[in-house]
A and B are shown apart, each in its own frame.
Chain A
Amino acid sequence: MLLRCLAALVVLLTFPLIIGQTEHKVMAHMQGRLGPMYAGGFHGWAQLVADGVKFAQKEDIVPAGADRRVFQLAPAVALLPYLLVLLVIPVGPNGFVGQAVDAGIFFVLAVMGIGVLGSLMAGWASANKFSLLGGLRTAAQLMSYELPMLLAGASVAMAAGTVSLTGIMAGFHWWWIPWQAIGGFVFFTAGLAELQRPPFDMPVADSEIIFGAYTEYTGLRFALFLLSEFAGILVLCALTAVLFLGGWHGPLPHSLGWLWTLLKTFALAFVVIWARVTFPRLREDQLMRFAWTGLIPLALLQLALTGIIKVAISQ
């Protein structure tokens, strides 16, 4: 138990860094950025190290008017849920999971919902109008996008007849991928919005409300927020891979299952970065409309489709 927790912690600390490094490189290539290509020589491999040193050097400032304790606690509150969620995502068959939880999907979606508290606390405690605005936008956005995410997750649970993540993996067939494709799209997109990644980064919009809830953060605390964003990408991609892309199921023998999960996860992470580089930011009203008139009807459609096919199979 302790060992598994430790392993999950190590994964939480390394994989997001890998995603961060990938983001640097992918963005550099796609946008022709030269900056991240210099540090360390070949292909700028030390850029992430340089970033880390930069963050560690910066002074840790708490604004004079801020609510000290809440301000300082916020990054931890933002990061902790992702660590808890990583603990329960099954990576491979035969119990290759941090801790199998009976109500897997439910646990994951419930705990991920707490992350918003971190942004709200950060935004409010900064005593900065832009930060407060960013925090409120975050809350509104996360509440709107929670619903399609839950509905899409419910569709998979319905298909498998269980809410346990390992149970869902056990019941997986290849034709689930086309069957649950709409739900997968809804889940992934809504998750992207939950992470406030571009094109859904209205709450942190750096050109309008100067990084929203994170305006006043510097140094390591800001790095913690960044880490939680990358951990969020990892969690979202791993979940999408497990729920909608069959997780460890692949053409290779089952002993190599974990490799498939990782491959799918990182392929999805690449898509997340790709979307950041290529899509323009949505406006606040477009963002809300997309959730309520786009994703939720789609999720309901997927739910109905799942139900119909499920009944048709059982007869």
Chain B
Amino acid sequence: MTATLLAATGSLAPATRGFLSPTGVEIVFVLVGLAVLGAALISVTTKQLVHAALWLVVALGGLAIEFLLLTAEFVAWVQVLIYLGSVVVLVLFGLMLTRAPIGRSPDADSGNRWIALGVALASAGTLVTLVVDAFRTSWIDLGAGGGSTAAVGASLFRYWVLPFEALSVLLLAALVGAIVISRTGKGGARPRPGRLRTRRPAGSAAPQQQER
């Protein structure tokens, strides 16, 4: 897909690598980047919680497209699978379970707004400075297949196995923690008093026939 996408939008290795000689890919990249930025801004400024999460979907999906444009195909699909398919869905799930009125959320206004803006600007500034400083003169030729699944998989499991495994341990710890927190007592899932649902032993038939 990437190859055709690139073929459709323009060559990857510009003849003159000037600062202001954008190729088709670069223009698309910048446009998608602007869309991502816009979606991210709306996501943090909107007063409706669920809308914020949905704009996050747009922003993260745009990021996946950016990865595609950088020929990092595998990373793009990982982005879609993990962030769009799981993280945002989990966020939405949590929001809808707890507090998600239709319309404006009364507690969406935070007093820490300006501090948050300062922190965001500072971290963005640091990152931009760092990246610009690190890659000022270097230029990577984005050949097709450079970020393909085979290449990423090979480098991941050949050179980066240790960080990969360490990350798995981190995730395992999070999983165990979640299980520990969600266990209320020795009996496992006990029905709490005041719940509407009557307890029915799982696996056996209902004690009384309902609505038949």
Residues of A within 8 A of B (CB): 1, 65-67, 70, 99, 101-103, 106-107, 109-111, 113-114, 116-117, 120-121, 123-125, 127, 132, 135-136, 139-140, 142-143, 146, 162-164, 285-286, 289
Contacts and interface: CB of A to CB of B under 8 A. Distances in A.
Given A70-B50, A99-B1, A103-B149, A113 B84 contact: yes
Given A109-B81, A127-B102, A136 B93 contact: yes
B191 to A, nearest CB: 12
Contacts of A106: 74, 77-78, 81, 149
B140 to A, nearest CB: 19
Contacts of A117: 57, 84, 88-89, 92
A113 B96 contact: no
Interface in B108-159: 148-150
Interface in B50-109: 50-51, 54, 57, 73-74, 77-78, 80-81, 84-86, 88-90, 92-93, 96-97, 100, 102-103
Contact of B81 (A110, A120, A164): A110
A163 B151 CA distance: 12
A299 B184 CA distance: 29
21 contacts: A65-B102, A67-B50, A70-B50, A70-B54, A101-B73, A103-B77, A107-B77, A110-B78, A113-B80, A113-B81, A114-B85, A117-B88, A120-B89, A136-B97, A139-B93, A140-B93, A143-B86, A146-B86, A162-B150, A163-B149, A164-B149
B9 to A, nearest CB: 12
Please report whether the interface of chain B is mostly helix, strand, loop or mixed according to DSSP: helix
Given A70-B51, A121-B54, A289-B202, A110 B8 contact: no
Interface residues of B, number: 33
A193 to B, nearest CB: 16
B8 to A, nearest CB: 7
B208 interface: no
Contacts of A116: 85, 89
Contacts of A101: 1, 73
Contact of A102 (B48, B73, B78, B102): B73
Contacts of A102: 1-2, 73-74, 148-150
A101, A124, A142 pick with most chain B CB within 10 angstroms: A124
Nearest to A121: B54
Contacts of A70: 50-51, 54
B85 A132 contact: no
B4 A124 contact: no
Nearest to A208: B211
